[in-house]
Amino acid sequence: MTENHTQSKEGEHEVGKNGEDLYPLALLMDELKHDDIANRVEAMKKLDTIALALGPQRTRDELVPFLTEVAQDDEDEVFAVLAEQLGKFVPYIGGSKFATLLLPALEILASTEETLVRDKAVESLNNIAQELSEDQLFHDFIPLIEHLATAEWFSSKVSSCGLFKSVLARVKDDKFRKELLALYLQLIQDDTPMVRRAAGKNLPTLIDLLTQNPDLSTAEDWDYISNMFQKVIGDSQDSVKFLAVDILISILKFFNKKKDITHSKDLLHSAVQMIGDEAWRVRYMAADRFDELASQFAFDSHYIEELTSPFLALCEDNESDVRKAVAKQLPGFSKLLGNPEIILKKILPAVQNLSMDESEAVRASLASEVTNLAPLLQKQDAIDHLIPILLNMLKDEYPDVRLNIIAKLKVVNDVVGITLLSENLLPAITELAKDVNWRVRMAIIDYIPLLAEQLGVEFFDQQLGDLCLSWLWDTVYSIRNAAVVNLRKLTEIFGSDWSRDEIIARLLKSDSQLLENFVYRITLLNALTELVPVVSLEVVNDKILPFINHLAEDAVPNIRFNVAKSYAVVIESFCKDKPKYLELINTSIIPALEKLCNDEDVDVRYFASQSLEEAKACLN
């Protein structure tokens, strides 16, 4: 312990030179023996600080061996932090030439049962691998992978699957790369499903690396890859087999990059096989990735046509999750078909069925993408066949369906115009705007600026203006606040003059009886203040400032201190044209703020003084 204390003093001496207060090694050792796990975790988070204090030599000689011991005996929470920290440790031990000293501790952590610890260890090992020289890679890192991959315990093998990507593209020797792929093939065939799953999950990354470096790969490499793919697609476990979809996509990308279509028919057969697989998880993955999968066959329209029937089968799948996934792929696959006639005769009937699906989630999923079919059809066909489906979905009892259609109306408006939709659109919006669930009301408010841009000012004023103002008086504060922000966004879209005539004028004409209500007055004040930065200074001076002045002597302190805050916003705007408004600020607003600084209420005085300081800073 005396020696440790001596080391601590040396550490503290080094730290003193840097003017920092750093933990010495002895204290770290004590903290890592603490009974409370939170203390041990916090101590582990300070490793970089300790390493800086010790310097590279002592970090290599003392700290790293100590941490390797810690990696064998503590709790998972501590291991997780240690695994993450070690990935950033190369600079603290003197650079990449010493990086291999960190591998033993990380290998131990990569073998633990806790998934979080393993994942962090694998991430750190991959980070370190980027800094290793070729010699270090061959003499230290690849043996580590081999050791993990051939260990008895599944956790080591699972971790090894995530490390091949750091070495595969850097191995130029064909024989050595073949040995690595052979080892990976063993993992793909492991007895434990968790290992096979990890190998299958990481395989697309390895294939993508070969795609990026086509000169690396040989025909023999692809024999291995093909063998691995067949093992995954034939796996007895659904949780492994569904990974074959991503593997197939990566294989197709490789051959497409090489412009090699010799395997296309076989790969199409594999795709169709997975789309119709008896395991719903495999069908789900095929449905979820259908657009990307089909696009790999886009070089031949016959292949796309062959995928049409399997696609339609997914639209009628007995699992709602599969239908939900494929519903989002409709526009993408239809675009690949590229034939309006086929879309009309084959795709739209499927859309019609999905729009009436018994599952709310399926209908909502369809609603989020269905409008993107409009540009793929002739205008009259869209009017005759797609619009009726959309109009029906705007009446759906499930709010998310209506919201998702409304959110994506721009694309339909661009194709057929808004007139056809307006009769059904307005009832849907009105109903959502009054929904008993305030979150649904909030969602429709969020869509209003988007709708305003799509529909134009004339339609908006006639149909939606009253609705937007009505939200200001909602019983829920969050809705009132959202309504205020909404008015600002609309002003940014339609301009200051519109806001003056359609919003501000109407707000200022409020019934005097309503103004007796505190909530009404403060909401008006908030709404008008929110508009100050986005309307012209003339509008602020002529319309908004008089109302703020009127409330400066309100009986309610909350109103008065919000007036004080509003004055600061007004002054900031007026400072954009200081010469013109300087006299008004000095003779009207500043005296009003000074008066509020002497208010009987402490909060009013506080906010008034804050605003006064901001005003003076702005004027200087």
Q: Which of 102, 132, 162 is the last residue of a domain?
A: 132
Confidence of residue 444 (pLDDT cuts 50, 70, 90): confident
DSSP symbol at 35: S
3-state secondary structure of 117: helix
Tell me how far apart the alpha carbons of residues 489 and 449 are, in angstroms, rounded to a whole number: 6
- pLDDT value at residue 124: 94
Tell me how far apart the alpha carbons of residues 24 and 8 are, in angstroms, rounded to a whole number: 5
Mean pLDDT of 377-386: 89
Confidence of residue 4 (pLDDT cuts 50, 70, 90): very low
If we measure between CA atoms, which residue out of 251, 216, 211, 218 comes closest to residue 232? 251
Token readout for 298 is 């886009």
Token readout for 215 is 């000169």
Tell me how far apart the alpha carbons of residues 371 and 360 are, in angstroms, rounded to a whole number: 18
Tell me how far apart the alpha carbons of residues 431 and 33 are, in angstroms, rounded to a whole number: 62
Where residue 101 sits, what CATH number does that domain have? 1.25.10.10
Tell me how far apart the alpha carbons of residues 432 and 398 are, in angstroms, rounded to a whole number: 10
- Tens of pLDDT, residue by residue over 565-617, are 999 999 989 888 888 888 888 888 899 999 999 999 999 999 999 998 888 88
If we measure between CA atoms, which residue out of 560, 539, 557, 558 comes closest to residue 549? 560
Q: Which of 76, 110, 132 is the last residue of a domain?
A: 132
Has residue 302 been placed in a domain? no
The C-alpha angle with vertex 257 and arms to 254 and 263, in degrees rounded to 5, equals 60
Mean pLDDT of 397-408: 86
Q: How far is CA 122 from the centre of its chain?
A: 23
- pLDDT value at residue 414: 77
Q: How many Cβ atoms are within 10 Å of 540's Cβ, its own excluded?
A: 22
- pLDDT value at residue 145: 94
- pLDDT value at residue 2: 38
- Tens of pLDDT, residue by residue over 314-355, are 999 999 999 999 999 999 999 999 888 999 999 999 999 999
Token readout for 174 is 């064909």
Identify whether the C-beta of residue 362 lies closer than 8 Å to the C-beta of residue 351.
no
Has residue 304 been placed in a domain? no
- pLDDT value at residue 346: 93
Has residue 53 been placed in a domain? yes
Instruction: Provide the mean pLDDT of the chain.
Output: 87
Identify whether the C-beta of residue 327 lies closer than 8 Å to the C-beta of residue 352.
no
> 246-259 burial string, b = 16+ CB within 10 Å, else e?
bbbbbbbbbbbeee
- pLDDT value at residue 17: 39
DSSP per-residue letters across 182-232? HHHHHHHT-SSHHHHHHHHHHHHHHHHHHHH-TTT--HHHHHHHHHHHHHH
Q: Is 456 left (phi over 0), alpha (psi -120 to 50) or beta?
A: left
Identify whether the C-beta of residue 453 lies closer than 8 Å to the C-beta of residue 493.
yes
Query: How many DSSP H helices and E strands does the chain contain?
Result: 44, 0
Q: Which of 112, 132, 152 is the last residue of a domain?
A: 132
- Tens of pLDDT, residue by residue over 136-179, are 999 999 999 999 999 988 999 999 999 999 998 888 777 888 88
**For residue 30, what are the contacts with CB-CB under 8 A and spacing of at least 6?**
none
Tell me how far apart the alpha carbons of residues 160 and 176 are, in angstroms, rounded to a whole number: 17
CB burial class (10 A; 0-12, 13-18, 19+) of residue 517?
Answer: exposed
> Which of the two residues, 417 and 72, has the higher pLDDT score?
72
Q: Which residue is associated with the tokens 């979820």?
A: 288
| Residue type at position 50 | I
Q: How many Cβ atoms are within 10 Å of 389's Cβ, its own excluded?
A: 19
3-state secondary structure of 418: coil
- pLDDT value at residue 98: 92
User: Is residue 194 over pLDDT 90?
Assistant: yes
If we measure between CA atoms, which residue out of 90, 82, 91 comes closest to residue 121? 82
Quote the percentage of the chain above a pLDDT of 70: 93
Has residue 137 been placed in a domain? no
DSSP symbol at 598: T
Confidence of residue 6 (pLDDT cuts 50, 70, 90): very low
**For residue 294, what are the contacts with CB-CB under 8 A and spacing of at least 6?**
304, 307, 311, 332, 333, 336
Confidence of residue 217 (pLDDT cuts 50, 70, 90): low
Confidence of residue 223 (pLDDT cuts 50, 70, 90): confident
Mean pLDDT of 423-447: 80
What is the chain's Cα-based Rg? 33
Mean pLDDT of 362-370: 95
- pLDDT value at residue 1: 38
- pLDDT value at residue 7: 41
Give the domain range for residue 103. 22-132
If we measure between CA atoms, which residue out of 525, 594, 506, 604 comes closest to residue 561? 604
Please count the structural domains in the chain.
2
Identify whether the C-beta of residue 381 lies closer than 8 Å to the C-beta of residue 344.
yes
Confidence of residue 18 (pLDDT cuts 50, 70, 90): very low
Has residue 351 been placed in a domain? no
Q: Give the range among 76-85, 293-302, 507-516 with minimum mean pLDDT.
A: 507-516
Has residue 109 been placed in a domain? yes
Confidence of residue 560 (pLDDT cuts 50, 70, 90): very high
Tell me how far apart the alpha carbons of residues 295 and 289 are, in angstroms, rounded to a whole number: 10
Identify whether the C-beta of residue 325 lies closer than 8 Å to the C-beta of residue 288.
yes
- pLDDT value at residue 314: 97
Identify whether the C-beta of residue 552 lies closer than 8 Å to the C-beta of residue 512.
no
Mean pLDDT of 403-427: 76
- Tens of pLDDT, residue by residue over 92-116, are 999 999 999 999 999 999 999 999 9
User: Is residue 10 over pLDDT 50?
Assistant: no
The residue count of the chain comes to 620
Mean pLDDT of 302-308: 92
**For residue 564, what are the contacts with CB-CB under 8 A and spacing of at least 6?**
593, 596, 604, 607, 608, 610, 611
Identify whether the C-beta of residue 81 lies closer than 8 Å to the C-beta of residue 48.
no
Confidence of residue 533 (pLDDT cuts 50, 70, 90): very high
- pLDDT value at residue 14: 40
Identify whether the C-beta of residue 30 lies closer than 8 Å to the C-beta of residue 22.
no
- Tens of pLDDT, residue by residue over 31-85, are 777 777 888 888 888 888 888 888 899 889 888 998 898 888 778 888 899 999 9
- pLDDT value at residue 202: 95
User: Is residue 245 over pLDDT 60?
Assistant: yes
**For residue 223, what are the contacts with CB-CB under 8 A and spacing of at least 6?**
none
User: Is residue 620 over pLDDT 80?
Assistant: no
Has residue 62 been placed in a domain? yes
Identify whether the C-beta of residue 78 lies closer than 8 Å to the C-beta of residue 37.
yes
Has residue 344 been placed in a domain? no
> 542-555 burial string, b = 16+ CB within 10 Å, else e?
ebbbebbeebbebe
- pLDDT value at residue 13: 40
CB burial class (10 A; 0-12, 13-18, 19+) of residue 579?
Answer: exposed
Tell me how far apart the alpha carbons of residues 196 and 188 are, in angstroms, rounded to a whole number: 5
- pLDDT value at residue 229: 93
CB burial class (10 A; 0-12, 13-18, 19+) of residue 397?
Answer: exposed
Identify whether the C-beta of residue 46 lies closer than 8 Å to the C-beta of residue 23.
yes
| Residue type at position 299 | F
- Tens of pLDDT, residue by residue over 461-482, are 887 888 888 898 888 899 999 9
Tell me how far apart the alpha carbons of residues 251 and 264 are, in angstroms, rounded to a whole number: 10
- pLDDT value at residue 11: 40
The dihedral over CA atoms of 513, 515, 519, 525, expressed in degrees to the nearest 10, equals 160
- pLDDT value at residue 330: 95
